[in-house]
A and B are shown apart, each in its own frame.
Chain A
Amino acid sequence: MALANPKQDATEARIAGLALPQGGCLQTARREALARLREMGLPQRRDEYWKYTRPDTLTQPVAMPAAVFEVEEEPVFNDLDRLKVVFVDGVYDADASDDLEVEGVQIDRIADICGQDIHWAKDLYGVLEAKGQNPVERPLAALNTAFAQDGVAIHVQGQVSKPISLIYIHESETSDAILHHVVRVEPGAEATILENGPAAARFNKVMEIDIADGGKLHHVRAQGRDHERRAATHMFARLGAESVFKSFTLTANGVLTRNEVVVELTGDDAVAHVAGACVGDGDFLHDDTVFITHDAVNCESRQVFKKVLRNGATGVFQGKILVQPGAQKTDGYQISQSLLLDDDSQFLAKPELEIYADDVACSHGSTSGAIDETGMFYLRSRGIPEAEATDLLTLAFLAEAVEEIEDEAIAADILSRLESWLTRRR
């Protein structure tokens, strides 16, 4: 009899509850992902990469239930002219979605890509995820590739006139959703992808993004406010020469969020910015884990992560810049900061640089602190009450991250969410 292997047992227990979608052109990709997953095993607390964030509720066979949060406020991005692609508890909802016909982009469900012979999507599905397993394992992403129930293939072929807005509605308290999207941006094409909503009680999402030379992708997401929801998300992006990828994430509430971003700059002069603003109150753990690899000349990467934490909330940041041999003239910047509004909250950060080229400029910084007392007194001495002054200084703290959003209307919308979060918590 084999020795008990808790990691393997936990992995098998999770897999047992899932069915590998049968047939179709993704069969091989799914089988290979399952093999990868079995080989790695699901994450456990002892794993170095999960040192700060307990993975058990993300990996256990049955998701913890999460109440659906009643929000009075109108959902984010509501006032924007956008193409709505709606998922309810992780299942595409054609009725709630717009007609997926917009100039410059083709959108199909993952389930349809085989029938329609959409080669690029078939060739991308699981590929960047598999590549992203090195040098650090990301088993939840492999699980996703194997078992994803739904998702879309977004093919950006020109200048897309309005944002493609992926909306994740949470309806069932026990939903356990796995979504996998693939995105291909053709040379010189440009699009904006928005994501918002709590999605499910437990949400596992992967987005694989392939940006060809000169392509541009803007990505802005606002993760849903349901207090008890849990999410593990991965973005894998591969950037060609002179391409641009800019991603911003707002996270407010949610008991557990792990957002992993894996970017590979493979063509010269590419630009990748990954930013996040997170506000957490109480029973809240938010983890940004970012890995950016420079594998070409004269590329720029920026990581800007800001977290506001109160009432015992925890923020985690693990960010790495890896500069491969030959990736000269790399410009890498990384900053992670937390504003602790009380003594009960904590920020755990592990910034890393690994550089194998000599002509590079990389900087990183991580800080954690309370509201600046001197600034506070200055504002109050002008008649601004303490609560309002705290809000002003908090928004000021978050500004550097929010400024990463290029589109003014979208940035204003995100900012107004942060403002109302602060006001609600006075």
Chain B
Amino acid sequence: MLEINNLHVKLEEEDKQILKGVDLTVEPGTVHAIMGPNGSGKSTLSYVLSGRDGYEVTEGSATLDGDDLLDLDPEERAAAGLFLAFQYPVEIPGVGNMTFLRTAVNAQRKARGEEEMSAADFLKLVRERAKSLKINADMLKRPVNVGFSGGEKKRNEILQMAMLEPKMCILDETDSGLDVDAMKLVAEGVNALRDEGRGFLVITHYQRLLDHIKPDVVHIMSDGRIIKSGGPELALEVENNGYADILAEVQ
């Protein structure tokens, strides 16, 4: 489904190479986790895949179901089924959360040539999904993420994912800043969406999230490359011993 080949990315404004040849394939129905030291390029990878400005791809490719992602505008990537839950969700003063969700859902439907969702159907769906993430009516009415606590912002990301039902979900440190109960809620939200047609790429620093969302493959990223891949046990190894051993082993 998601296929990344030898991806090299530098900053547009500076002569700084951040991704130095990333190879990664996520099959439908699987959950891949990426771990790695701070600054190794995990968020950069997620931003480049979703089409944020400021990066230049110098080599390599990224495709979603065969379509060249790097050629598409961010909104086209979203309509093609890509979703990124941001490490730092953005506050948008003046735009109501509900308006935002409905505009997004309908924009994607329109882009795919589907019929827009009626106001009533939308309301029903959003209430139901919000409820299971313990997002109250007030948070739906308020401006997007404005004044939300760290944990509320992360749950709001998962609500968007649940509403948009993307094919390929990238979660960038969705667990950071969550209390134990919120982490469970988020994990349940993710697990509810798991099915054979959908792929997940979960970026995290902690094994704990992976207790709730069981990964099929765990990758270790360091200095702009994936240096090691393995099963869930790799995450445990990182949790217990840090990255030193793995880094040494690769060198």
Interface residues of A (CB under 8 A from B): 373-375, 377-386, 388-389, 392-393, 395-400
Contacts and interface: CB of A to CB of B under 8 A. Distances in A.
Interface residues of B, number: 29
Contact of B51 (A380, A393, A399): A380
Contacts of A400: 94
B93 A396 contact: yes
Contacts of B90: 374-375, 377-378
Contacts of B93: 396
Contacts of A381: 50-52, 74-75, 77-78, 84
Contacts of A395: 94-95
A383 B73 CA distance: 9
Contacts of B50: 381
A380 B75 contact: yes
B78 A383 contact: yes
Contacts of B78: 380-383
B92 A386 contact: no
Interface string B38-72: 00000000000011110000000000000000000
Nearest to A389: B75
B206 interface: no
B94 A385 contact: no
B74 A380 contact: yes
A389 B51 CA distance: 15
B234 interface: no
A369 to B, nearest CB: 13
Given A383-B75, A384-B104, A397-B94, 12 more contacts: A375-B90, A377-B74, A377-B90, A378-B90, A380-B73, A382-B160, A383-B107, A385-B73, A385-B75, A385-B111, A393-B94, A393-B95
A419 to B, nearest CB: 12
27 contacts: A374-B90, A375-B90, A378-B86, A378-B90, A379-B104, A380-B51, A380-B73, A380-B74, A381-B74, A381-B75, A382-B75, A382-B100, A382-B160, A382-B164, A383-B79, A383-B111, A384-B103, A384-B107, A385-B73, A385-B107, A386-B73, A386-B75, A392-B95, A392-B103, A398-B94, A399-B94, A400-B94
Given A383-B75, A383-B164, A385-B75, A377 B107 contact: no
Nearest to A378: B90
A383 B51 contact: no
B108 interface: yes
A323 to B, nearest CB: 29
Interface in B103-145: 103-104, 107-108, 111, 143
Contacts of B91: 375
Contacts of B84: 381
A389 B89 CA distance: 17
A380 B52 CA distance: 9
B145 to A, nearest CB: 9
A392 B164 CA distance: 19
Nearest to A392: B95
Nearest to B104: A382
Contacts of B86: 378
* 8 interchain residue pairs of minimum CB distance: A396-B94, A383-B78, A383-B108, A380-B74, A382-B104, A378-B90, A399-B94, A396-B95
A71 B79 CA distance: 36
B103 A388 contact: yes
Contacts of A377: 51-53, 74, 90
A268 to B, nearest CB: 34
**Chain A CB within 10 A, most for which of B73, B78, B94:** B94
Given A373-B53, A384-B75, A388-B107, A379 B100 contact: yes
Contacts of A374: 90
Contacts of B77: 381
Interface in B128-173: 143, 160, 164
Nearest to B145: A378
A400 B90 CA distance: 20
Contacts of B111: 383, 385
A93 B134 CA distance: 59
A169 B108 CA distance: 43
**Chain B CB within 10 A, most for which of A381, A382, A385:** A382
A400 B86 CA distance: 27
**Chain A CB within 10 A, most for which of B51, B93, B108, B111:** B93
A393 B92 contact: yes
Contacts of B99: 392
Nearest to A396: B94
Nearest to B105: A383
Nearest to A375: B92
B104 A383 contact: yes
B107 to A, nearest CB: 5
A382 to B, nearest CB: 4
